[in-house]
Structure 1
């Protein structure tokens, strides 16, 4: 059973089942726009078109293009200048939520954090070491 939601495009109520983010009427409009974009991109000359060029030629919103790339409906392998914004910096990426630069930076920061944690643990371990003096030893 779905839940009643308001369509973000037109404001009408629709039964949300987890499949579409918009009402049926808006979904049909989006599908028509998708067909226009795909028809435009199928032409050999347009395969390397940028997002801005596609928006200018078809009138489709940039957010819809990002959505279709993210969902895999438009493949960056076939259309190399397509992508969607990185969740961190906004640069175009073709898979995941972060671009390569943000992934590299995040991995670097995680490695630094892990090294610092290991250092802190080794310092704490050395501070826990107890040294005992042997008072039974004879002095010469």
Structure 2
């Protein structure tokens, strides 16, 4: 059992996984998220600052929701955050499409080169008969 202090209110709670906040703060954040989401439905061309001011939510929290892809602004909105890899302006997520495809390609090439070849020890052993493989002989 991992006991920690909530980073928002300081209350001690039983930490399981994720962001280290207590259940009360998590519930409050989810309510704020629902308010922000509703505000964006009604005002799709708002800036991050306008959304933060109208809903009493920190700008960093709104950017976190954007990075988690929980919030997406309108196509023609001027709102954007930077790709964590190259700095290009993006609307949601952590990486731009170019960086995502490059990283996926790198990962794919890594997994292909890491396929294990047949071990030399295994190929030098004589084949086993069924009797050799039985744990208890009859």
Q: Shared fold (TM-score greater than 0.5)? A: yes
1:96 match? 94
1:60 aligns with 2:57: yes
Gaps of 5+ in 1: 104-140
Contact 2:8-2:21 at 8 Å conserved across structures: yes
TM-score, reference length from structure 2 = 0.56
1:71 aligns with 2:64: no
The number of equivalent residue pairs is: 98
Q: 1:68 to 1:14 in 2, by over 3 A?
A: same
Q: 1:39 to 1:95 in 2, by over 3 A?
A: closer
Q: 1:14 to 1:47 in 2, by over 3 A?
A: same
Contact 1:67-1:84 at 8 Å conserved across structures: no
Tell me how far apart the structure 2 counterparts of residues 75 and 53 of structure 1 sit (CA, whole Å).
15
Alpha-carbon RMSD across the aligned residues, in angstroms, is: 2.9
Gaps of 5+ in 2: 100-138
Cα distance, 1:19 vs structure 2: 3.0
Deviations 1:24-74 (A, max 9, x none): 01011111111111111111xx10111011112111111110111111111
Tell me how far apart the structure 2 counterparts of residues 21 and 82 of structure 1 sit (CA, whole Å).
28
Q: Indicate the SS of the match to 2:40.
A: helix
1:28 match? 27
Tell me how far apart the structure 1 counterparts of residues 69 and 19 of structure 2 sit (CA, whole Å).
15
Matches within 5 A, 1:1-140: 2-43=1-42, 46-76=43-73, 80-84=77-81, 87=84, 93=90, 94-96=92-94
Contact 2:3-2:13 at 8 Å conserved across structures: yes
